[in-house]
Amino acid sequence: MNDIPPNEAKISAQAVAAFGNTPTPRLRQVLQGLVRHLHAFASEVELSEEEWLEGIRFLTDTGRMCDGVVRQEFILLSDVLGLSMLVDAINHRAAKAATETTVFGPFYIAGMPERGQGENMAFTPGEPALVLGRVLDTDGEPIANTVLDVWQTAENGMYSGQDTEQPLSNLRGRYRTDEEGRFAIRTIVPVSYPIPTDGPVGRLLQASDRHPWRPAHLHFMVMAEGRRTLVTHLFNHDDPYLESDVVFGVKDSLKVVYQRCQADHPLAERYDFDGPFRLAAYDFVLERA
Ligand code: BEZ
Ligand code: FE
């Protein structure tokens, strides 16, 4: 880094010191750290006045793009900057035995229908799939009555809520484990899709020659009493975007194979498949709260 001229270093020191009386110690630490790093960034790149103004315009546009319902452009920005996954990593350092976490994303909708074992949550076309597994504690014991809140895009790459043509409950639902900790989700095989590019985050990606794609995945929020809630995805193991996820969310332990099964497969009748389908299996492990 360049040597910072004394008058510039003085401004930075004054700004950091100005937050020195913040009564809450943690807030003081966060604010002073933020100001210190923001100033170091401006000094390092020798920010021009035009660039500063462009940054203000960018953040203003980002705020304007948020609608308080489905569109949260600031979370999207955090995601493409890798900040969301960094915060996730910082906050799950100790959870070695539990299933790994990944980014929450902006498309979760609370209050989706409770679904029975094996109930189909897909009301739009796609390759039929069954996702089976168990929820276990870190000793390998099943956890009954766990809620798995699940969501994914339709084949057109859009979530219900984003795409008003889909019923809101399409490809969403809350499944519950049985006494043996088992769950069964009937759905369609997830597809890769681009994150929304019609706002400032899309312009940022374009200006930096980055693609907007996420590898195909199924979202999970797994909740059980006395356990830490798990927010994660299962990724299709063969997706072309696994190595370049625009939000850096992929972890090897979260990849699943959707095996090809024929209509005479032993599970076909039980789960109402009258033709070929895909089968994926995964056990989730929850740590104590
Ligand atoms: C998602 O997977 O739904 C998602 C995550 C981060 C940004 C945009 C979408
Ligand atoms: Fe997603």
What is the percent of the chain where pLDDT is above 70? 99
* pLDDT (tens digit per residue) in 228-246: 999 999 999 999 999 999 9
Question: Does the C-beta of 239 come closer than 6 Å to ligand 1?
Answer: no
CA distance 286 to 99: 7
For residue 222, how far is its CA from the centre of ligand 2 (angstroms)?
16
CATH number at residue 190: 2.60.130.10
Out of 83, 99, 118, a domain closes at: 83
The verdict on 76 and 157 lying in the same domain is: no
Atom nearest to 195 CA in ligand 1 = 8
- What mean pLDDT is predicted for residues 181-203? 98
The verdict on 138 and 209 lying in the same domain is: yes
pLDDT at 69 over 80: no
pTM of the predicted model, to two decimals? 0.94
- What mean pLDDT is predicted for residues 81-106? 92
The verdict on 50 and 100 lying in the same domain is: no
Question: Does the C-beta of 106 come closer than 6 Å to ligand 1?
Answer: yes
Out of 39, 65, 83, a domain closes at: 83
- What mean pLDDT is predicted for residues 212-225? 98
The verdict on 150 and 39 lying in the same domain is: no
* Residue 183: φ, ψ to 5°: -135, 155
Asked, for residue 1, whether it belongs to a domain, the answer is: no
* Residue 140: φ, ψ to 5°: 85, 10
Helix axes 49-65, 200-207, angle to 10 degrees: 130
Of residues 92 and 2, more confidence is placed in 92
Q: Residue 21: which domain range?
A: 6-83
The verdict on 16 and 133 lying in the same domain is: no
Atom nearest to 75 CA in ligand 1 = 7
Question: Does the C-beta of 215 come closer than 6 Å to ligand 1?
Answer: no
The pLDDT-based confidence of 3 (bands split at 50, 70, 90) is: confident
> Which residue has a Cα nearest atom 7 of ligand 1?
105
Out of 83, 116, 139, a domain closes at: 83
The verdict on 125 and 232 lying in the same domain is: yes
Question: 133 near 284, Cβ under 8 Å?
Answer: yes
Q: Break the chain down into helix, strand, coil percent, rounded to 5.
A: 30, 20, 50
The verdict on 199 and 261 lying in the same domain is: yes
Q: What is the CA radius of gyration of the chain?
A: 23
Site to probe by mutation for ligand 1, drawn from 83, 150, 195 as the one with most ligand atoms within 8 Å of Cβ, is: 195
The pLDDT-based confidence of 163 (bands split at 50, 70, 90) is: very high
For residue 104, how far is its CA from the centre of ligand 1 (angstroms)?
7
Question: Does the C-beta of 154 come closer than 6 Å to ligand 1?
Answer: no
Q: In the structure encoding, which two tokens stand for residue 248, read together?
A: 């850096």
Q: In the structure encoding, which two tokens stand for residue 244, read together?
A: 């370049």
pLDDT value of residue 2: 60
* Residue 44: φ, ψ to 5°: -60, -45
Q: Any residues with CB less than 8 A from the CB of 220 and at least 6 apart, and which?
A: 148, 149, 150, 230, 231, 232, 233, 234, 284
How many domains are there within the chain? 2
Q: Which amino acid is at 57?
A: R
Of residues 94 and 155, more confidence is placed in 155
Q: How many CB atoms lie within 10 A of CB 9?
A: 13
pLDDT at 204 over 90: yes
For residue 103, how far is its CA from the centre of ligand 2 (angstroms)?
9
pLDDT at 34 over 70: yes
Question: Does the C-beta of 103 come closer than 6 Å to ligand 1?
Answer: yes
pLDDT value of residue 154: 98
pLDDT at 46 over 60: yes
Average model confidence (pLDDT) for the chain? Answer: 96
* pLDDT (tens digit per residue) in 254-285: 999 999 999 999 999 999 999 999 999 999 99
